[in-house]
Amino acid sequence: MELSPRRFADALVLRPAGTIDHVSAPAFRAALDPHLTGCAADGHHVVLDFSEVPYISSAGLRVLMLASKQAKAQGGTIAIAALQPLPLEIFAISRFDQVLAVFPTVAEALAEASPAAAAAFTRGGGA
């Protein structure tokens, strides 16, 4: 799964695209893992831009939980941003909105994570 990484100062924005269900969850995890492995070294903050994800199942949510644990273990953070209406409801019903940081927009997620990253995002300076 392509995650289209963009760096803004000390934050990395990843944008998965497509349904994340029990079939695609392993590919999502495999794509995410390299970005989390170097989380502490490359910058502490990862934001997952979910604007292109129309559906996520329990298998995909489990990948997010594992990713969150992995990021925290390295002193980093992970946030979810720009959920579409259906995944937003799934987050609420599954209570994932209570255990993961969820933001309406990528800008708001970056503002919470790092002023430098938010400023870079506002300038459109992603690399």
Partner 1 sequence: MRARFWGTRGSIPVALPRAAIRDKIVAALVAAAGRGIDTVDKARAFVDRELDFTVASTFGGDSACVELVTGGDEYVLCDLGSGARVFGNHVLATRGATGHTFHIFMSHVHWDHIMGFPFFMPAYVPGNRIHIYGGHADLAEAFRRQHAAPSFPVDFGRLEADIEFTRLETDRAYALAGCAVRVKRQLHSGHSYGYRFEREGKAVVYSTDSEHKRDDPGETDAFVEFFRGADLVIFDAMYSLADAISVKEDWGHSSNVMGVELCQLAGVKHLCMFHHEPVHDDARLAAILRETRRLEEITRRGARLEITSAYDGLEIAV
Q: Which residues bind partner 1 (CB under 8 A)?
A: 22, 25-26, 55, 57-59, 61-62, 65, 86, 89-90, 92-96, 98-99
Nearer to partner 1, 58 or 122 (CB): 58
Q: Please state, in angstroms and rounded to a whole number, the distance separating the CA atoms of residues 116 and 110.
A: 9
Residue 106 CB burial class (10 angstroms; 0-12, 13-18, ≥19): buried
Q: How far is the CB of 80 from partner 1 (least distance, A)?
A: 13
Nearer to partner 1, 55 or 112 (CB): 55
Q: Please state, in angstroms and rounded to a whole number, the distance separating the CA atoms of residues 87 and 59.
A: 13
Q: How far is the CB of 52 from partner 1 (least distance, A)?
A: 18
Nearer to partner 1, 65 or 73 (CB): 65
Residue type, 28: F
Q: What are phi and psi of 89, to 5 degrees?
A: -65, -40
Q: How far is the CB of 66 from partner 1 (least distance, A)?
A: 9
Nearer to partner 1, 7 or 19 (CB): 19
Q: Which residues pair with 7 in a beta bridge?
A: 12
